[in-house]
Amino acid sequence: MPFGSVLGCLLAALALSGCSGLSTLSGPEKDDALSANSQPNLASLAEVIQKHPDDPQAYNMRGSVLAESGKPELALADFNKAIALDPNYAQAYANRALLYRQSNQFQLALADYNKALSIDASYAPAYLGRGTIYRLQGRSEQALADFSKSIALRPDNAQAYYQRGLLYQGQHQHQFAIDDFTTSIGLSNQKAEPFVARALSYLAVGDAKSAASDLDRAVQINPSNQQAWTSRGLAYERLGDKDKAAGSYAKALNINDKYEPAKAGFARVGGKIGQSYQTF
């Protein structure tokens, strides 16, 4: 697999993985109102609900915590209850939409995002969530409008810049993508994904040195990110450092020995199974 084809595969994989999750985040911060919630004790929330069974905010809060804890079915029940108690609760619709989006129920998610925005036209997380679905569906103009609106309403939201950067990247507008990824990183620099994304755009414009620097950071933040290691292999391969390239591809293969871009890169730089390689 040639270098360009591997880069194309990594860009395509990033575009799909950029649909952020509730707990396994692909961007620098959570894109819906869940990000505003702390992690209160579930037992305490259960007590609140027991004392105030008609409080929609309590159900929404518990649903958010349940979603963060990897219990989407229980979270969905709480969001449904919150909406039943208050049909004009924009945040609950947006939170439920994110659950639907995670399970690829895009039509249900869009309906909830639209409902949230009909209730509160200035609710930035709903624009961001809806824009993410539009991006995944290839509805670029609508996605761009929603991301830009979300940023205008919440210019401190790193995830909005990250998602808009992915949109630009998918359109091969790599300098715009780099600018947005840079802003995202400036707002929140503890996630590997925006560094990987910016690195891939750097590679696309021929700046392997900047890409390698970003990917050094990405694998330090998340050593189990196979795409970061594979992309790092690609950057060092482009720089002519076959040892670091092979070591990076080997790290990716240790995570998933069937990952084709890493297998192709490892073979391309003459990697040998069982041999030790320098990674830093």
Q: What is the pLDDT of residues 125-154, one digit of tens each?
A: 999 999 999 999 999 999 999 999 999 999
Q: Do the beta carbons of residue 252 and residue 269 sit within 8 Å?
A: no
CATH 1.25.40.10 given to domain 1-20+144-272? yes
129/113 Cα distance (integer angstroms): 7
**Span 79-105, pLDDT tens digits:** 999 999 999 999 999 999 999 999 999
**Cβ-Cβ contacts under 8 Å for 213 (sequence gap 6 or more):** none
Residues of the chain with CATH 1.25.40.10: 1-20+144-272, 30-120
Query: What confidence tier does 34 reach under pLDDT thresholds 50, 70, 90?
Result: very low
Q: Which CATH class is domain 30-120?
A: mainly alpha
Position 37 scores a pLDDT of: 43
Q: Any idea which residue has 């609710």 for tokens?
A: 123
Percent of the chain with pLDDT over 90: 78
Q: What is the average pLDDT value for the chain, to the nearest integer?
A: 90
Q: Residue 8 — pLDDT band, cuts 50, 70, 90? A: confident
Strand positions, DSSP E, the chain: none
| Residue 2: partners with Cβ closer than 8 Å, 6 or more residues away | none
Task: Report d(CA 154, CA 131) in Å as an integer.
Answer: 14
pLDDT 10s digits, 233-267: 999 999 999 999 999 999 999 999 999 999 999 99
Say how far apart CA 157 and CA 151 lie, in whole Å.
Answer: 7
pTM (global) more than 0.85? yes
Phi, psi (rounded to 5 degrees) for 181: -65, -35
**Sole residue written with tokens 């392997």:** 208
Compute the radius of gyration of the chain from its Cα atoms: 20
The greatest distance separating any two alpha carbons of the chain, rounded to the nearest whole angstrom, comes to: 66
pLDDT exceeds cutoff 50 at 23 = no
DSSP three-state, residue 87: coil
> What are the distances in angstroms from CA 252 to CA 112, 212, 260, 267?
38, 15, 10, 13
Q: Which two tokens stand for residue 48?
A: 């609140």
Place of tokens 């950029």: 18
